[in-house]
Amino acid sequence: MASSNIIFPMILALSSLIAGISKGQSTVPVVPGLSYSFYESSCPDLEFIIRGHLWGVLNNDITQAAGLLRLHFHDCFVQGCDASVLLDGSASGPSEQDAPPNLTLRAQAFKIIDDLQALVQSTCGPIVSCADIVALAARESVFLPNGPFYNIPLGRRDSLDFASRQDTLANLPPPTFNTTDLLNAFANKNLNVTDLVALSGGHTIGRANCASFTNRLYPKQDPTMDQTFANNLMLTCPTNTTDNSTNLDILSPNIFDNKYYVDLVNHQGLLTSDQDLFTDSRTRDIVTTFANDQNLFFQKFIDGMLKMGQLSVLTGTQGEIRTNCSVRNGDTLNLGSMVQVNQQKQMLSR
C-alpha cells in the first residue's frame, strides 16, 4: 500500500505527459454526445481510479489484460459499445449457459469490470456507465503491458437490452474467416483494411483454445503454416477435440508490441483469420509494414480503437447508467430510481 501511494501519482504524471504528447495525433472524429472531458467535473478521478485498480490486478496477473481487451471488442461489435455484453442473458455475458464455445470470454474479466464499477460508484456515485468502464479498462489493458497510451472519448450509456445468441454469432467474425470475409465483416462496421490489420494486432496478447484453430491441423494441415509451429500445436492439441489452449503471439505473449505481425511473416500466426492477413495480397503489405514499424502499428491501432470504441454508442438520454453492470436497473431492487435522481442532479450541476 505504501509503495502504491508513490507509484500511482508517478504513473498518472507519466501518462498525462504521454497523453499530452500524443494529443492531436489521431484524426478520428469524436461521435456527437461523446467527449474527452465528459467526466472532468462529475468524476475527475475516474481514470486514476481505474488505472490504479488495474495496475494492482495486472501486476498480479498480466494475462488478465487480454480478457479485458477482448471484452471491449465483443461489446462494440455486437450492437455497439453499450455494455450489452455484460448483461445476464447475453450470449456472451456472465450467466449464459449456452454461449457457443468459440465465444469464450474470461469470467475473470466480468469480475474485474464489476469491481471497477463498484470502486467508481463509491467515489462518484452511479454516473459512470459500464460501457465507459469497459472502454477504459481495454485502454489500460493495452497501455500496462507496454502498449501505447491514448485518450478516449467518454459518455457512452448502457443498453437496456442484451444481445441474443443470434446477434452475437452474426456480428462476431469467427477465427475460420479468410481476409475477404474479414474485410466484409469490418466494412459492416465502417472499419477499413488498415483498421482490420491494425485491430487484429490485439492478438499480440492472450490465448486461444484448440477449438479456435484445430481446423488448421486436422484433418489436413494448413499449407501456409510453419512446420515446427504446426508440430508444437499438434502436441498442444493432439486431436480436434482436445481441450487445451496456447498463446496467440508465440514471440511475446504478454507484451503489447508488433511481434504478432512478425509471427505472421514467419508463418506462425495462430488462427486462420490471423495468418490469412499475410497470405492475401490486399493486406500482406500492411502486415509487413507493421512488422517493421511498431510506431506505425501503434498509431493505426489507436485510430482503429477510437473508431471501434465509438460504434453505435448510446448517448445523452438514451439507455441508462446501470448500477449493476450485469442487470438492467429496472430489474434490480428499484435502484433505478436512485440512478435517475443522481442523473438529474448531475445534469443540473453541468
Ligand X SMILES: *[C@@H]1O[C@H](CO)[C@@H](O)[C@H](O)[C@H]1NC(C)=O
Q: Assess 195 for contact with ligand X (CB under 6 A).
A: yes
Window 24 to 43, contacts with ligand HEM (CB under 6 A): none
Question: Quick one: DSSP state of residue 157?
Answer: B
Amino acid, single-letter form, for residue 39: Y
Q: Assess 241 for contact with ligand X (CB under 6 A).
A: yes
C-alpha closest to that of 102 among 35, 29, 177, 155: 177
Q: Which is nearer to ligand X, 65 or 182 (CB)?
A: 182
Q: Assess 90 for contact with ligand HEM (CB under 6 A).
A: no
Q: Assess 79 for contact with ligand X (CB under 6 A).
A: no
The phi, psi pair for 329, rounded to 5°, reads -60, -45
Q: Assess 69 for contact with ligand HEM (CB under 6 A).
A: yes
72 is catalytic: no
CB 190 within 8 A of CB 233: no
Question: What are 341's three cell numbers?
Answer: 435522481
Q: Assess 209 for contact with ligand HEM (CB under 6 A).
A: yes
Number of residues that bind ligand HEM (CB under 6 A): 26
Q: Which member of 25, 108, 236, 266 binds ligand X (CB under 6 A)? A: 236
Q: Which member of 267, 307, 322, 328 binds ligand X (CB under 6 A)? A: 307
Question: What are 330's three cell numbers?
Answer: 429496472
Q: Which is nearer to ligand X, 156 or 307 (CB)?
A: 307
Q: How far is the CB of 105 from ligand X (least distance, A)?
A: 12
CB 105 within 8 A of CB 74: yes
Q: Which member of 31, 53, 58, 67 binds ligand HEM (CB under 6 A)? A: 67
- Chosen from ligand HEM, ligand X, none, partner binding at 181 (C-beta under 5 to 8 Å by type): ligand X
Tell me how far CA of residue 51 lies from CA of 143, 234, 303, in angstroms. 10, 39, 21
The phi, psi pair for 193, rounded to 5°, reads -60, -35
- Chosen from ligand X, ligand HEM, none, partner binding at 307 (C-beta under 5 to 8 Å by type): ligand X
> Which residue reads 508517478 in cell numbers?
10
Single out the segment in contact with ligand HEM by CB under 6 A; choices: 49-57, 67-75, 227-235, 341-349.
67-75
Q: Assess 66 for contact with ligand HEM (CB under 6 A).
A: yes
Q: How far is the CB of 15 from ligand X (least distance, A)?
A: 23
Question: What are 292's three cell numbers?
Answer: 517493421
Question: Quick one: DSSP state of residue 87?
Answer: S
Residue of 53, 72, 74, 267 marked active site: 74
Q: What is the CA radius of gyration of the chain?
A: 20
Amino acid, single-letter form, for residue 203: H
Q: How far is the CB of 265 from ligand X (least distance, A)?
A: 20
Q: Assess 209 for contact with ligand X (CB under 6 A).
A: no
CA–CA separation, 165 and 173 (whole Å): 14
Give the active site residues: 74
